[in-house]
Amino acid sequence: MTLQTIKTTPYADQKPGTSGLRKRVTVYQQPNYVENYIQAIFDSLEGFAGQTLVIGGDGRYYNDVAIQKAIRIAAANGFGKVLVGQGGLLSTPAASHVIRHYKAFGGLVLSASHNPGGPEGDFGIKYNIGNGGPAPEKITDAVFDRTKVIDSYKTLDTPDIDLGKIGTQQIGDMVVEVIDPVTDYAALMETLFDFDAIRALFKSGFTMTFDAMNAVTGPYAKAIIEGILGAPAGTVINGVPSPSFNDGHPDPNLVYCKDMYDLLMTPEGPDFGAASDGDGDRNLIIGKNRFVTPSDSLALLAANAHLAPGYKGGIAGIARSMPTSAAADRVAEKLGIEMHETPTGWKFFGNLLDAGRVTICGEESAGTGSDHVREKDGLWAVLLWLNILAVRKQGVDEIVREHWATYGRNYYTRHDYEEVDSAIANALVDDLRGRLSSLPGQVIDGLEIAYADDFTYHDPVDGSTSAKQGIRIGFKDGSRIVLRLSGTGTVGATLRVYLERYEPADGQHNLDTQEALAPLISIIEKLAGIQKRTGRNEPSVIT
């Protein structure tokens, strides 16, 4: 096993986004592309000699190839041990737990989350630090700086590791331990939830369907929902991970889970439906005749968390990303706990969680989680919902309606314009940003603008500042429009528009969402000219 130092040249496009470096598989297949990026990560870290590194991914195409490269580079750079999921699999929340549970130095999570897979699909690499969460900006900025000048990487000339065989193997001076990807995670879930109550719920005749979308959550859901909790075989569908996600799009929303939604809206459908995404960190929640928006789900989980054993003492606080609706704010206010608004990206929750300032976090993009790990966690959200249903002995629709009658309803939607020409998208945002100071006081279609700004976050724990995190336009009646460019796409730019209107507890809660928000949809077109400038007559996706 020869230590090799391989000469290389930099790539100019290796700037990590909010969730690591995501590109087309064909980009990652370029000579030394993976090696450059991983070496740049290690070059930006200190003190890992002899330490443990966790490696795993969502099983998408190229996962196995990239993991073998990562193992060799880790060994050549002086790591003492690598923990890798069997078959290269580790859901993102499970990887976070393994890092924390085994006190690893950090981890490499190989995933492009909810993006399509396969040879023509997407791939990604993200570095997580020792608390189990995504690397903060000071590290990702350093990694990007390093990628721009890197001229060599270290590796070992050695055969591939057998990722199918649980146990230890040796590569140079480094131990590689292949672990069951599910066991540790399932044990953690058992400490958080009342599994006896959930078992009783299933025995009572309660039915559900969980769509794993041929992604990484399949083995976890089968082991926990069908195995430990005793749900009937077949409750988990599309449960076998596929490198192409069976040619599907592993994004748990009403577009790609339309069949499930349609089923839940019929008398013949199950009582509860749920889904998770490519790497297992997002979730979809649907009850009989009731889709629960991610923003509402965050608020409902926070309001009812005390019903689960892991949170019976109450929660310390709630954090949400800025574009997420303010539904959770009303829960925090009633509970008398802290409420934090952060930029989009789970890494911004890490300091708050580590400091004990918050217990539950969420994003409108179908991500919710708690202080049990430092990532969002799709299956955790589903299990907490099951725990709540088991204890309250009510259906999802009834629980949601009672919540609105107590806190009011935040009508909320997100309009995505995907793969927009980057120059057009950036010019649109820059133009609107330049007019923000002139907007307060203007009345458009009868609504007066109360404030308009570009969100800047001041971290209350470490004092860091993150600017230009999204344009906010707020109205005197409490309505709000947010516009930002997403960092999760791989081609062009994704322009996201978030629209929100608050209806009080004694107000009208049964309007169609798009109808309720029609005035705001009209206003943002007048302000930003999205359709005119992009040539799009409608969003690519509405959630």
Residue 1 pLDDT exceeds 80: no
- Determine the average pLDDT of the residues in 413-429: 93
- Among the listed residues 44, 111, 113, 325, the single catalytic one is 113
pLDDT at residue number 541: 83
Q: How much of the chain exceeds pLDDT 90, in percent?
A: 93
Considering 181, 202, 221, which residue would you say is the last residue of a domain?
Answer: 181
Distance separating alpha carbons of residues 194 and 415, to the nearest angstrom: 37
Instruction: Tell me the HSE value of 294 on the side-chain side, using a 13 A CA sphere.
Output: 29
Active site residue 113: yes
Distance separating alpha carbons of residues 289 and 292, to the nearest angstrom: 10
Average per-residue pLDDT for the chain = 96
Phi (first) and psi of residue 268, to 5 degrees: -80, -15
When computed from its CA atoms, the radius of gyration of the chain, rounded to whole angstroms, is 23
pLDDT at residue number 410: 96
Q: Return the H-helix or E-strand segment holding 283.
A: strand 283-287
| Shared-domain flag, residues 386 and 239 | yes
CA terminus-to-terminus distance, the chain: 52
pLDDT at residue number 489: 55
Identify any residues that bridge with 485 across adjacent strands, giving them in sequence order: 495
Instruction: Give the domain range for residue 61.
Output: 2-181
pLDDT at residue number 542: 86
- Contact of 101 with 130, CB cutoff 8 Å: no
pLDDT digits (tens, 9 = 90+) for 445-499: 999 999 999 999 999 999 999 899 999 999 999 899 999 998 655 568 899 999 9
| Shared-domain flag, residues 137 and 53 | yes
Question: 10 Å Cβ neighbour count for 145?
Answer: 14
Considering 129, 160, 181, which residue would you say is the last residue of a domain?
Answer: 181
| Shared-domain flag, residues 153 and 225 | no
| Shared-domain flag, residues 256 and 362 | yes
pLDDT digits (tens, 9 = 90+) for 265-303: 999 999 999 999 999 999 999 999 999 999 999 999 999
Q: Which amino acid is at 287?
A: G
DSSP H helical ranges for 393-504: 396-407, 422-434
pLDDT digits (tens, 9 = 90+) for 222-247: 999 999 999 999 999 999 999 999 99
Question: Domain tally for the chain?
Answer: 3
pLDDT at residue number 488: 56
DSSP line for 332-401 = HHHHT-EEEEE-SSGGGGHHHHHTTS-SEEEETTTEEEETTSSS--HHHHHHHHHHHHHHH---HHHHHH
Q: Return the H-helix or E-strand segment holding 88.
A: strand 81-89
Q: Is 22 left (phi over 0), alpha (psi -120 to 50) or beta?
A: beta
pLDDT at residue number 2: 86
Distance separating alpha carbons of residues 388 and 158, to the nearest angstrom: 51
| Shared-domain flag, residues 215 and 318 | yes
- Supply the CATH number for residue 120's domain: 3.40.120.10
Task: Indicate the pTM of the whole model.
Answer: 0.94
| Shared-domain flag, residues 173 and 199 | no
Distance separating alpha carbons of residues 255 and 253, to the nearest angstrom: 5
pLDDT at residue number 336: 98
- Determine the average pLDDT of the residues in 345-372: 94
| Shared-domain flag, residues 276 and 323 | yes
Considering 370, 392, 407, which residue would you say is the last residue of a domain?
Answer: 407
Phi (first) and psi of residue 111, to 5 degrees: -165, 155
Residue 322 pLDDT exceeds 80: yes
| Shared-domain flag, residues 197 and 338 | yes
Token reading at 31? 């000579």
| Shared-domain flag, residues 191 and 70 | no
| Shared-domain flag, residues 429 and 523 | yes
pLDDT at residue number 137: 86
Helices 294-304, 396-407: crossing angle, 10 deg rounding:
80
| Shared-domain flag, residues 401 and 252 | yes
CA-based nearest residue to 298, from 276, 327, 323: 327
- Supply the CATH number for residue 458's domain: 3.30.310.50
pLDDT at residue number 18: 73
Return the exposure string of 462-486: e unless at least 16 CB atoms fall within 10 Å of the residue's CB, then b: eeeebeebbbbbbbeeebbbbbbbb
Question: Would you say the C-alpha torsion 294, 296, 299, 300 has a positive or negative sign?
Answer: negative
Beta carbons within 8 Å of 142's beta carbon, 6+ residues apart: 44
| Shared-domain flag, residues 168 and 216 | no
